[in-house]
Amino acid sequence: METGSRYIIYTLLYLGGISCLYFLCLFTGLPLFVSVILAAVLCWFLYRQVIPDNMPGAFDRKNTSWLALGLLTLGLGILTTNALNVAQKHGEWDAWAIWNYHARFLLSPEHWRNLFLNTENDHADYPLCLPAANAFFWRLTPATLHYIIPFVLAIFTTIATPVLIFTEIYKKHLLVATLALFLFAYNAFFIQIGVTQYSDSLLSLLLLAAMVCLDHAHEHKKYVAFAAALLGLCIWTKNEGAIVAGICTLFYANIFFSRRYWKMTLMGWALPALTWLLFRSCVLTPNDLIAGLGNDTWQKINTPVRYTMIREQFRYNLIDDFPYLKNAFYVYLIICLLRRKLPGKQMLMVCTCLIAYMLIYVVTKQDLQWHLFTSQNRLMLQMMAPMIYAMCMRFKDLRPKRVEMPMWTKPE
Amino acid sequence: MRDKIVPLLMLVAIVVATILFYNKWQHKPDGLDRMAAVLERASGAMGNTSRISFQNYPIVNELHFQARYVMAPRYLPFHKYTYDTTLTITPLQFKDSIRNVLAVAHRTTLWQYTDTSFDYLLTSAH
């Protein structure tokens, strides 16, 4: 795995780990200094595990070109500038009505359980990966700087997503990597949601990082543990993360549950699973996805107009928020057709996740039109980065074929 | 060796973005900051069993969430309280009528404040 990718995965695992440990300390009533010590130990442990390059023949690896570094710098400059232009001080509505609001509860070791008493007009069942990470860093910073912390996490996810794809591809096909980087840099919706301080971008990055780790599972078995941990963190980040993690685990069951790797899988899952189970023991309301199921579910499934509404809104979002993605997807399909290959496993997995997401809307207990309007484009955004990564993994093999000169034309 | 420049570039981008974000917003209060400042002023007179009510429906939601955010983690749903004090937030155009209603209800004014958009009135039933 490339150095840049390893640092991004290290940071992600570290943030997720801190979030879990901080919540466990709150749950068990341990003081802040214990969380700080655990965070320092985690930092050292993960550094020792993630950063070393275990790829066979790592020393023979192709060096990074100055051109690639220049393009990356340009891309980062555009991303940062665009992000700063749209970033609000306290994020958008859901940031201060849900995510940062929950973080404010977790800031208080005495009153944090009040969060779960807000069962009406709140989302007490939403997992706490992002709020707990924010709360941990808030407790270490003066109150006047609290608004900076969620922004730093948001800008990290916004930047790390395209950079992770870029670092994975650029040595194989610089043009494809650059196109992917600039597709993100100029996608207004991706940047806007990235800095709203919501959890959608984080979930997207966690899934992407898990896919990257699984692609490198053959290099070292530690990458299977990292992938399992990242999928576990998906569940700890958002309720729909359980769908993503479940589908990804099923698609890669041959790796996760193979004789060689199953212990790694369990090790990766351990901390996020324990944290999530304890969190669920505090929550008084059912998961909002499951709560939607009732007597009228079958009737909803048999109502064609619901499917039409979902499809129309999907089409509208695709045109409005992801203009280039649709074209890139068509190119991907054409390439698959020309090469007489089926779409890759990663693409099938992402499409399955998207279909599963859309099925949520079929059975939702909310008003369908309102629910689609408020969240469908964000769910699509969660799949944007994994889909672009899946496309790039196919596009990177595209090279003009060298025409072999016939023997008789070669000089003696 | 050049591979290590990639995470360094990312770090530089994050640091620069954070500094610019800080410079942009440090002295620029938004709605949440204004709400926090007002609730800070009112907090001396507000007990743990205070509630906040809002007038004029179209903006209730946003104000409600802002106040709730600022008051967390003390904020609980209304039905959990036995209210002793109430902070009423009203758009300026309805200020007088709301004050009259509260006066007729024989509520004692504990604290009042008016900013450019809203009137804040903390009253007690006693």
Q: Does B60 reach chain A within 8 Å, measured CB to CB?
A: no
Q: Does B8 reach chain A within 8 Å, measured CB to CB?
A: no
What is the rounded CA–CA span in Å between residue A46 and residue A40?
10
Phi, psi of A260 (to 5 degrees): -75, -30
Residue A403 lies in a domain: no
CB pair distance less than 8 Å for B33 and A167: no
User: Quick check: helix, strand or coil at residue A371?
Assistant: helix
Q: How many CB atoms lie within 10 A of CB A353?
A: 24
Taking Cα atoms as reference points, which of A59, A97, A67, A84 lies closest to residue A181? A67
Which of B1, B4, B8, B9 is most worth mutating to test chain A (most A CB atoms within 10 A of its CB)?
B9
Q: How many residue contacts between A and B have a Cβ separation below 8 Å?
A: 111
Residue A129 lies in a domain: yes
User: Quick check: helix, strand or coil at residue B51?
Assistant: strand
Residue A408 lies in a domain: no
Q: Does B48 reach chain A within 8 Å, measured CB to CB?
A: no
How do the pLDDT tens digits run along chain A, 412 residues long?
888 899 999 999 999 999 999 999 999 999 999 999 999 999 999 999 988 877 666 555 677 788 888 999 999 999 999 999 999 999 988 898 899 999 999 998 988 888 888 776 778 889 999 999 999 999 999 988 999 999 999 999 999 999 999 999 988 888 889 999 999 999 999 999 999 999 999 999 999 999 999 998 888 889 999 999 999 999 999 999 999 999 999 999 999 998 888 999 999 999 999 999 999 888 877 766 666 677 778 888 888 889 999 999 999 998 888 888 888 888 888 888 888 888 888 999 999 999 999 988 888 888 888 889 988 899 999 999 999 999 988 887 766 555 555 555 554 4
What is the rounded CA–CA span in Å between residue A222 and residue A211?
14
DSSP A372-400: HHHHHHHHHHHHHHHHHHHHHHHHTT--P
Residue A407 lies in a domain: no
Contact A185, A137 (CB under 8 A): no
| Per-residue pLDDT reduced to its tens digit, A37-65 | 999 999 999 999 988 877 666 555 677 78
Residue B18 burial by Cβ neighbours in a 10 Å radius (0-12, 13-18, 19+)? middle
Q: What's the predicted TM-score (pTM) here?
A: 0.90
What is the rounded CA–CA span in Å between residue A180 and residue A166?
7
Choose the closest CB to B25 out of A114, A147, A167.
A147
CB < 8 Å to A63, chain B: 1-3
What is the rounded CA–CA span in Å between residue A107 and residue A109?
6
Q: Does B106 reach chain A within 8 Å, measured CB to CB?
A: no
What are the start-end ranges of the H helices in A238-322?
Answer: 241-251, 253-256, 262-282, 288-291, 297-301, 304-321
CB < 8 Å to B4, chain A: 3
Contact B61, B27 (CB under 8 A): no
Residue A402 lies in a domain: no
Domains observed in chain B: 29-124 (3.30.110)
Residue A297 lies in a domain: yes
What is residue B106's DSSP assignment?
Answer: T
- What token pair was written down for B40? 């800070």
* Residue A153 domain boundaries: 3-52+74-397
Which of A82, A93, A148, A191 is most worth mutating to test chain B (most B CB atoms within 10 A of its CB)?
A148
Distance from CA of A170 to the nearest CA of B (A): 12
Residue A354 lies in a domain: yes
Q: Does A100 reach chain B within 8 Å, measured CB to CB?
A: yes
Q: How many CB atoms lie within 10 A of CB B7?
A: 22
Tally of domains in chain A = 1
ipTM: 0.88
Does the structure show a pLDDT above 70 at B121?
A: yes
What is the rounded CA–CA span in Å between residue A151 and residue A48?
28
Sheet hosting strand B85-91, strand order edge to edge: B51-54, B85-91, B118-124, B108-114
| Sign of the dihedral defined by the CA atoms of residues A28, A34, A36, A38, in that order | negative
User: Quick check: helix, strand or coil at residue A42?
Assistant: helix
